[in-house]
Each structure stands twice: as C-alpha cells, then as structure tokens.
C-alpha cells in the first residue's frame, strides 16, 4: 500500500534527460539520434555533473591521489527536486546516515510543502577521504554506502548514497 501513497516523488522530464546527456558531453547530433528531436546544449541547465539527474539515488565517484592516499578531501554536490504527492500540507525532515568516512550535509534540512503537487529543491553535499594511513593499491576501489531519509511522520522516503573512491592505475 505504501507504494500507492509515497508522499514524495522525484519527477524527471524529457528536458532533464537532455540536460543529463549534455552534461555527459553528448553532441547535439548524438542527442537528436536518441530523442529524434533537435537539442540545444547551450541552453541546457548545467547541473555541474551527470550525477545531478533528478533521481532518488545519489552516487559519487572520486579518484584518490596517485600515491594511493587522499591528498585532500574530495567533494561533490547533488541537486534534487522533490514533488509532494502526499495530499496537501506536509513538512519533511531530513535524516542522514553518512557512508563511512564521509560527511554528508543536506540544505535545507526540512521541506515545508503547502500543497499537493508543489516542488521543492534541496542540495546534498558529500565530502570523502581515503582512510588515514591506508594506502590504496593501484586500480583498487573502496565503496561506501549510506542513506538520506525524508519523513513527515506519515511517509518515509529513502534515497541511497553510494560513494566510490578509486585509486589510479598508476
């Protein structure tokens, strides 16, 4: 029954997919072959990176320093827009279970919806580092997972957070 009353959804439009392809550096000709419509990447919303497609999941991949240790904290951010489908007024509060060794912040930490169908955006910032004193072997990776949960007391919406740190091949 919960699937029929999710509370929040992440709507994705055809324009979001075109922006996604533009952010992946597809050419307008490539996009036209996929969508069968003209595309103009100059007017595409630049999301910062391809991970900003409006999906519930949040996945970041970082490359560690060449010596296998973290030279600095690796950072990225995700922008998401949630649509209220829970039937009117609702205030959703964010709870984060950060992946191990990561710092995750959500801004704003609450989404105060006034009506059904209203859309509100939020930003998730992720900082990660290779575990101190642990050198990564060339080509190896560390995968860590966590979650962002939005709840209004009646509905609970979970978004997985996956962070991968890769060591260069050499």
- Would you kindly state where each structural domain of the chain is located, as residue ranges? 2-10+54-166
Of 3.60.20.10, 3.30.450.40, 2.40.50.140, 2.60.40.2310, which CATH number belongs to 2-10+54-166?
Answer: 2.60.40.2310
Using a 10 angstrom Cβ sphere, with 0-12 exposed, 13-18 middle and 19 or more buried, the burial of residue 118 is middle
Provide the pLDDT for residue 82.
97
Element (H, E) at 76: strand 74-84
Q: What is the pTM of this model?
A: 0.86
Q: What is the mean pLDDT of residues 70-82?
A: 82
46-50, 78-82, 86-90, 140-144: the lowest-pLDDT one? 46-50
91 has pLDDT over 80? yes
């Amino acid at each position: 029954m919960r699937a029929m009353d999710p509370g929040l959804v992440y709507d994705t439009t055809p324009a979001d997919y075109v922006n996604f392809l533009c952010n992946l550096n597809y050419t307008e000709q490539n996009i036209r072959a996929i969508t069968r419509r003209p595309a103009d990447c100059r007017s595409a919303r630049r999301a910062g990176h391809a991970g900003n497609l409006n999906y519930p999941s949040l996945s970041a991949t970082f490359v560690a320093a060449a010596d296998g240790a973290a030279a600095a904290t690796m950072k990225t951010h995700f922008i998401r827009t949630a649509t209220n489908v829970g039937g009117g007024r609702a205030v959703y509060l964010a709870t984060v279970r950060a992946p191990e060794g990561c710092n995750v912040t959500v801004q704003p930490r609450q989404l105060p919806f006034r009506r059904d169908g209203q859309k509100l955006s939020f930003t998730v910032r992720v900082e990660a580092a290779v575990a101190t004193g642990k050198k990564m072997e060339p080509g190896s990776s560390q995968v860590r997972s966590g979650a962002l949960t939005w709840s209004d007391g009646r509905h609970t919406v979970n978004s997985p957070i996956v962070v991968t740190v890769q060591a260069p091949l050499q």
